[in-house]
C-alpha cells in the first residue's frame, strides 16, 4: 500500500477486517477509541518532549521507523472510528478545510503565522508588555 494509489476506503476496510477477525468490535466504542487516539498521540509527543522545535526536525531523520509506527497507531484509531461509526474522513476533512480557509484568509494571515494571528487576536489585547 502507498499513499499515491491507496484510497481511504481501502485503509478503513483493512482496519475493520483486523478488528472483526478478532471479534474486537465490542471494545471499539467511541469512548474507547477516543482514548486510543489520545494515548497514541502522546506516544508520538514523547519522541519530541525534551527537544527544541528545531531539534525535533533532526530527530525524524534519526528515528524515522519508530515515528512511522506511532503515526500508524494514531491513524489506526482514526480509521477504526471512521469505519465503525460511518464517518467519511475525506469528506469531513474537506468541509473542515473550507471552514479553516474562511477563518484564516490568505490575505490576512500570510507571512504572519498562526502564532502571530491567534495570539494577537486572543491574547495580546490583554497584555501590554
Residues near 125 by Cβ (< 8 Å), separated by ≥ 6? none
- Please, which of residues 22-41 interact with a copy of itself by CB under 8 A? 22-24, 26-27, 29-32, 34-39, 41
Shortest distance (Å) from residue 122 CB to a copy of itself: 9
Residues near 90 by Cβ (< 8 Å), separated by ≥ 6? 8
Task: Give the x-and-dash track for 2-21 against a copy of itself (CB under 8 A).
Answer: xxxxxxxx-xx-xx--x--x
Q: Around Cβ 122, how many Cβ atoms within 10 Å?
A: 9
- Please, which of residues 58-117 interact with a copy of itself by CB under 8 A? 59-64, 67-69, 71-76, 78-79, 81-82, 85, 87-97, 99-101, 104, 106, 109-111, 113-115
Q: Of residues 16, 44, 80, 103, which one binds a copy of itself by CB under 8 A? A: 44
At 88, is the secondary structure helix, strand, or coil? coil
Q: Of residues 16, 43, 102, 121, which one binds a copy of itself by CB under 8 A? A: 43
CA 82 – CA 89 distance, rounded (Å): 7
At 22, is the secondary structure helix, strand, or coil? coil
Amino acid at each position: 500500500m502507498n499513499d499515491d494509489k491507496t484510497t481511504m476506503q481501502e485503509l478503513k476496510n483493512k482496519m475493520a477486517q483486523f478488528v472483526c477477525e478478532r471479534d474486537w468490535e465490542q471494545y471499539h466504542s467511541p469512548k474507547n477509541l477516543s482514548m486510543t487516539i489520545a494515548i497514541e498521540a502522546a506516544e508520538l509527543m514523547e519522541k519530541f518532549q525534551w527537544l527544541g522545535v528545531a531539534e525535533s526536525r533532526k530527530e525524524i531523520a534519526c528515528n524515522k521507523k519508530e515515528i512511522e509506527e506511532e503515526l500508524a497507531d494514531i491513524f489506526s484509531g482514526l480509521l477504526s472510528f471512521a469505519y465503525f461509526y460511518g464517518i467519511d474522513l475525506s469528506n469531513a476533512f474537506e468541509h473542515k478545510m473550507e471552514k479553516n480557509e474562511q477563518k484564516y484568509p490568505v490575505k490576512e494571515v500570510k507571512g504572519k503565522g498562526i502564532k502571530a494571528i491567534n495570539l494577537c487576536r486572543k491574547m495580546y489585547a490583554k497584555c501590554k508588555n
